[in-house]
Structure 1
Amino acid sequence: MRQSDESQIDFRPFAPPLPPGRARVVPWATVMAGSLVTIVPVVASLPLLPPMGLIILLTWRLLARFSLRPWAGAPLGLFDDVVSGQPIGASMLLWSVVMIGIDLVEQRLIFRDFWQDWLIAAAAIIFCLTVGRLVALPLGAHVDSVLLAQIAMSILLFPLAARLVAWIDRKRGSAT
């Protein structure tokens, strides 16, 4: 058997793959679904809901590199701004800066493991939540302790989001 014949062997001949158009829509749909978590009515004494859209965006970008292009942060950030009630353009700018920053980090790192992905995601979450707080609230607002709790919860939620995105990526039939 030639080399090209071996690379085209399907090891799961009965598993139907998703059509290419639907496989490309899955990452976008999951980020948008993560952003829609903010409209779920939750009664809480502290607003500790993590930014699920951002976490899932970071997870897709770090685990499946080519599933979302670097420019995807702008339209997905606009959707998050509209749904979450943030000032229009805040998530667009912050998510775009984060996507460009991840590209710059990937150019420097030759190999990456999960711990480095978690550290990159933690830095991106801290950046987005801190700058988002400065944009959305006046400086005199006393929300810093709640912000720290939200940052900690968001960073600790990243491994769960990574498991979810890896499972979705495997189900969509992608080999990225």
Structure 2
Amino acid sequence: MNRAAPRLGEPASLWRMRIVPIASVMVASALPLMLPIVASSPALPPLGLLFFLCWQLLRTEMWPVWIGLPLGLWDDLFSGAPIGSAVALWTAASIAIHYISQRIYWRGFFHDWGIAALLVAAVQAAAALIAHPGSPPGRLLGLVAPQIVISMLLVPLFLRLTGQFDNFRLKRR
């Protein structure tokens, strides 16, 4: 029997269904270490956080609320932030998205963009304050503001990329 063509009703690969979302967040968290960029202030957006939020917004039911714990720990290991900061902040963002998903039944693109932009700003500002507790908050947030703005503007691109990864994830072969 020829198995080259997918059959009607055949489910997608279980391996791809589980690995693609987690791998995309993990690779995105580790990617800034592989890029040869040297900067005196944070300029590169948190790629792992952007994918994490976009996956949560695209497929809220896919992950449990506590998924921020292991993925946040992975990001902490690669970002150089104090261990536990991304764990707590990503879990709080996941809880916020699940709460918002229960309250807003019909979300559109601009809703998702606004939710992700607000969460990116809150998580990055809180992470900067956690990483540098003795610094004056105004000066510290002034340093992180360009990174927050860049991250907010990149949310639509990451929503699109997440959608492409989701299409690959759900393909039958």
RMSD of aligned Cα (Å):
2.1
1:58 partnered with 2:53 = yes
Deviation larger for 154-163 or 59-68: 59-68
1:11-160 paired onto structure 2 within 5 Å:
13=7, 18-40=12-34, 41-44=36-39, 46-137=41-132, 138-140=134-136, 142-160=139-157
Q: Which stretches of structure 1, 4 residues or longer, exceed 4 Å deviation after superposition?
A: none
1:153-168 paired onto structure 2 within 5 Å:
153-168=150-165
Contact map agreement 2:125 2:141 (CA 8 A) in 1: no
Length, aligned pairs only: 163
Contact map agreement 1:122 1:155 (CA 8 A) in 2: yes
How many angstroms apart in 2 are the aligned matches of 1:13 and 1:42? 47
* Partner deviation per Cα, 1:130-152 (whole Å, 9 max, x = no partner): 11111001323733323111110
Contact map agreement 1:98 1:124 (CA 8 A) in 2: yes
Q: Could you tell me the TM-score, scaled by structure 1's length?
A: 0.85
Structure 2 runs not aligned, ≥5 long: 1-5
How many angstroms apart in 1 are the aligned matches of 2:68 and 2:142? 28
Contact map agreement 2:129 2:140 (CA 8 A) in 1: no
Higher RCO (CA < 8 A, seq sep 6+): 2
Return closer, same or farther for 1:174/1:139 CA change in 2, 3 Å cut-off: farther
Contact map agreement 2:60 2:98 (CA 8 A) in 1: no
Contact map agreement 1:23 1:174 (CA 8 A) in 2: no
Contact map agreement 1:17 1:172 (CA 8 A) in 2: no
Structure 1 runs not aligned, ≥5 long: 1-11
Deviation larger for 22-31 or 139-148: 139-148
AA at the equivalent of 2:145 = L
AA at the equivalent of 1:164 = L
Deviation larger for 156-165 or 58-67: 58-67
What is the deviation of 1:67? 2.8
What is the deviation of 1:45? 5.0
Aligned twin of 1:3: none
